[in-house]
């Protein structure tokens, strides 16, 4: 299977037959696009849960002070 790799050196792999800039830009852009659209919603969930938890604790405090 390894013979099917199209490159014999790392420099060749980076160069992509002379189209290195374009090929790597596309794959880089795609990686950013995928990462951003998975990481942002995951981080937002943590933030929402933290906020809701804080609000819940505040409400309980107010309730215990009232009684």
Partner 1 sequence: MWLWFSKLGSPKWFYELSGKWLPWLIAAMVVFMTVGLVWGLLFLPPDYQQGFTSRILIVHVAVAGTSLAFFPLLLVSGTITLVWRMKLADMVAKNAAILGAWFSFITLATGSLWGSVMWGTWWEWTDSRLVSMLFQLFLLLGVISLRSALEDSETAAKACALLSIVGCINVVIIKYSVEWWNTLHQVSSPVSMDTQSPNGPEFWIATLIMIVAVYLFLSVSLILSTRNEILERERKSQWVQDLVSKS
Interatomic CA distance for residues 23 and 14, integer angstroms = 9
Determine, following the binding rule CB under 8 A, whether residue 14 of this chain makes contact with partner 1.
no
Q: Which of 8, 10, 11, 18 binds partner 1 (CB under 8 A)?
A: 18
Angle at alpha carbon of residue 12, lines to 16 and 21, rounded to 5°: 35
Q: Which of 8, 11, 49, 66 binds partner 1 (CB under 8 A)?
A: 49
Q: Which of 9, 10, 11, 25 binds partner 1 (CB under 8 A)?
A: 25
Interatomic CA distance for residues 47 and 43, integer angstroms = 6
Tokens, residue 56: 């819940």
What residues make contact with partner 1 under the rule CB under 8 A?
Answer: 4-7, 13, 16-19, 22-23, 25-27, 29-30, 33-34, 37-38, 41-42, 44-45, 48-49, 52-53, 56
């Amino acid at each position: 299977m390894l013979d099917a790799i199209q490159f014999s050196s790392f420099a060749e792999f980076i160069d992509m037959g002379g189209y290195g800039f374009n090929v790597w830009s596309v794959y880089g852009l795609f990686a950013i696009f995928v990462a951003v659209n998975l990481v942002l919603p995951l981080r937002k969930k943590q933030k929402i849960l933290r906020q809701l938890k804080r609000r819940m604790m505040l409400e309980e405090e107010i309730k215990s002070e009232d009684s």
